[in-house]
């Protein structure tokens, strides 16, 4: 049985896994799980991941969820180039440092902007100005830390070559871009880093993977009325 990947490329973690596998020529069957259609709650997907989250993979009779765990597994199994997840203890520790930090910082703040600027208003709910201002402040603080603490004056987060840290970081930072926020404005260092990451990944693959999120505005505008209604109580409880 071939490797199966269950993904929705609107999701930042899914884009990380997708790009990593594609860039490293890891063959897989792409199984689309449309989150806004509730496909993560189907009985079939529950057999792959009881967490009901994407990304998830099935490799023979082995199933695994959580993007970081998946990429580490793929790096080990397919012996991907060392720069992605270095064998050197200290270099690997620096990759792990970013991967450990991002869950409660870069990822959550970037995602919140997408929901506040685009998806929650599509539910007919107006975000209070003070909440939006606080969300933007949190995002900017995380972006500052990416630049000052993680990137510093290096080409990439962990040195001269791209790593899992850069891959995870860029897909998270692109999330608010999908909501129409230019996070690279007045941040030349971050913009230059983004260009290096895109070049290292390959412009065609980078753009393909981000097509869904960069078309999010159009998706919302053409969405059937009431399509997001089933998610409204849970989303508002989580964010507001």
Percentage above 70 pLDDT, the chain:
100
For all residues of the chain together, what is the average pLDDT? 95
Mean pLDDT computed over 192-206:
98
The answer on pLDDT for 181 being more than 80 is: yes
Q: Which long-range contacts (CB under 8 A, 24 or more apart) does 65-73 make?
A: 66/13, 67/13, 67/14, 67/16, 67/17, 67/168, 68/13, 68/99, 68/164, 68/168, 70/17, 71/16, 71/17, 71/20, 71/164, 71/167, 72/164
From CA 3, how far away is CA 130, in angstroms rounded? 46
pLDDT reported for residue 220: 87
Q: Do domains 4-77 and 89-235 have the same CATH topology?
A: no
- Contacts of 111 by beta carbon, 8 Å cutoff, 6+ apart: 12, 172, 175
- For helices 12-23 and 203-214, the axis angle rounded to 10 degrees is 160
pLDDT at 1: 59
* Mean pLDDT computed over 81-106: 97
For residue 226, what pLDDT band results from cuts at 50, 70 and 90? confident
Average pLDDT over residues 129-134: 96
- The answer, yes or no, to whether residue 238 has pLDDT greater than 90, is no
| CATH 3.10.20.30 at 4-77, yes or no | no
Residue 117 has pLDDT above 80, yes or no: yes
The answer to whether 157 touches 170, Cβ cutoff 8 Å, is no
- Is the per-residue pLDDT at 185 higher than 80? yes
pLDDT band at 232 (very low <50, low <70, confident <90, very high): confident
Confidence of residue 76 (pLDDT cuts 50, 70, 90): very high
CATH 3.30.43.10 for domain 89-235, yes or no, is: no
**Mode of pairing for the β-strands spanning 29-32 and 4-7:** parallel
The pTM of this model reads 0.95
End-to-end CA distance of the chain: 43
pLDDT value of position 221: 87
């Amino acid at each position: 049985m071939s490797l199966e990947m269950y993904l929705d490329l609107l999701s930042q973690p899914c884009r990380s896994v997708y790009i990593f596998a594609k860039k490293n020529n890891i063959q897989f069957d792409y199984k689309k799980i449309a989150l806004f259609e509730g496909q993560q709650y189907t009985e079939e997907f529950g057999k792959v991941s009881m967490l009901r989250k994407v990304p998830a993979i099935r490799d023979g009779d082995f199933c695994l969820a959580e993007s970081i765990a998946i990429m580490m597994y793929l790096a080990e199994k397919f012996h991907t180039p060392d720069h992605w997840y270095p064998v050197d203890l200290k270099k690997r520790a620096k990759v792990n440092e970013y991967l450990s930090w991002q869950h409660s910082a870069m990822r959550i703040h970037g995602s919140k902007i997408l929901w506040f600027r685009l998806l929650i208003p599509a539910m007919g709910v107006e975000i209070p100005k003070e909440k939006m201002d606080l969300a933007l402040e949190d995002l900017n603080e995380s972006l500052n830390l990416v630049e000052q603490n993680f990137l510093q004056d290096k080409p990439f987060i962990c040195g001269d070559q791209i790593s899992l840290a850069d891959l995870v970081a860029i897909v998270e930072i692109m999330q608010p871009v999908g909501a129409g926020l230019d996070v690279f404005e007045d941040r030349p260092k971050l913009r230059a880093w983004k260009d290096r990451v895109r070049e290292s990944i390959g412009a065609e693959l980078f753009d393909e993977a981000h097509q869904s999120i960069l078309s999010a505005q159009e998706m919302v505008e053409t969405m059937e009325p009431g399509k997001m209604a089933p998610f409204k109580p849970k989303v508002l409880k989580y964010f507001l």
